[in-house]
Amino acid sequence: MNAELQELYRYRELLYMITYRDIKVRYKQSVMGFFWAILMPILIVVSGIVVRYAYSMVAHTPLRTGDIASVAIKSVPWAFIVSSIRFTCFSLTGNRDLVVKIYFPKEIFPMAAVLACLFDFCVAFVALVIFLAIIKIGVSIYLLWVPVLLATMVLFCVGIGLIVSAASLFFRDVKYIVEVFLTFGIFFTPVFYDISMFGDRGKWLLLNPVAPLLDGLSKCIAHHEAPDVHWYLYSLTFSLAAFLGGFFLFKHLEPAFAESI
């Protein structure tokens, strides 16, 4: 495993080049350019606000700016998770020629897919910060949690991406299964709602490893409080396991890629 990580490090420029290619191509092909990066987050944020408005109508409570901020803060990372897993799914099969013909560590493809989506996320995040400033969400010391939570999220996406990309190379129906999970995942993840709305049963939803991360982001940005450290550690453990397990599985299967794709 160590040797493989060293090899990956040797090929870091390639990771950068493939990421650059993916970003460049995506922005070149679309007339709208950077607007793409914020289109999906905007759609999710707006639909989240609509859902939250419906909640407040039913519960006869006013819709507070904190709630809107919370929805926006959770939607943008969720869009990142969805798009990065979707792109990793095609990252190997979409680069068939390179997988079959040239040797280099192939985990670069799913990793570059996640990094390209991270670039989109950064663009959307800037838009989010502007939005939060407009609705006057202040700053606090808890913002220091944000990079930690985001890094864990990237680790999670890379781990899942490694597994999904290799699996979809061997089984062509994996992409449909992944798509179904990504579509319905939003209902099992606290994006439009808060964990607290479920009372004691909320902890079952936190078993979803993405949930503590999104909940944590919402807590430390919108509500100026620390995330639940225990649940964060649960997510971190899960993400690390996904990354290490995914990497190991990927490397184990890699020699068979060329003949199976």
Partner 1 sequence: MSDVALRMEHIYKKFRKGEVYNSLRDLIPAVTGKMFRSQELDTGDRREFWALQDISFEVKRGEALGIIGRNGAGKSTALKILSRIMRPTKGCMVVNGRLSALIEVTAGFHPDLTGMENIFLHGTILGMTKREIQSKLDQIIAFSGIEEFIDTPVKRYSSGMYARLGFSVAAHIDPEVLVVDEVLSVGDFVFQQRCLDRIRSIIQGGTSVLFVSHNLKSVTEICQRTMMLEHGKVVAIDNSDVVIRKYLSAAPTLNTPGESKAVYITKVSVRDRNGEQSTFESGQRAWVDVEVTAREAVDKLAVVIWFTDEMQYTIFHTSTERLGFAPFSLQPGGSYRCTFELGLNMAHGTFHLVTEIYRYDIQKSYDRSDPVTSIFIGSTTAVGGAVNCFPRLVDSETVAPSTQSCQV
Q: Is 54 one of the binding residues for partner 1 (CB under 8 A)?
A: no
Residue among 101, 136, 201, 230 that touches partner 1 (CB under 8 A): 101
Helix (H) or strand (E) holding 2: helix 2-10
Out of 34, 55, 90, 104, the only residue in the binding site for partner 1 (CB under 8 A) is 104
Nearer to partner 1 by Cβ, of 17 and 43: the residue is 17
Of 228 and 254, nearer to partner 1 (C-beta) is 254
For residues 36 and 55, which CB has a smaller minimum distance to partner 1 in the complex? 36
N residues, the chain: 261
Residues binding partner 1: what is the number (CB under 8 A)? 28
260 is a contact residue toward partner 1 (CB under 8 A): yes
**Within 10 A of 135 (CB to CB), how many other CB atoms are there?**
12
Query: Exposed, middle or buried: residue 123 (CB in 10 Å: 0-12, 13-18, 19+)?
Result: middle
How distant, in Å, are the alpha carbons of 49, 50, 53, 61, 71 from that of 57? 12, 11, 6, 7, 17
> Applying CB under 8 A, which of residues 103, 130, 138, 187 lies at the interface with partner 1?
103
- For helices 108-134 and 35-59, give the axis angle rounded to 10 degrees: 60
Shortest Å, Cβ 21 to partner 1: 6
The reply to whether 174 sits near partner 1 by the rule CB under 8 A is yes
Q: Which is nearer to partner 1, 21 or 203 (CB)?
A: 21
Q: Is 200 exposed, middle or buried (0-12, 13-18, 19+ CB in 10 A)?
A: exposed
Residues of this chain that bind partner 1 (CB under 8 A): 13-14, 17-18, 20-21, 24-25, 28-29, 97-98, 100-104, 170-174, 177, 255-256, 258-260
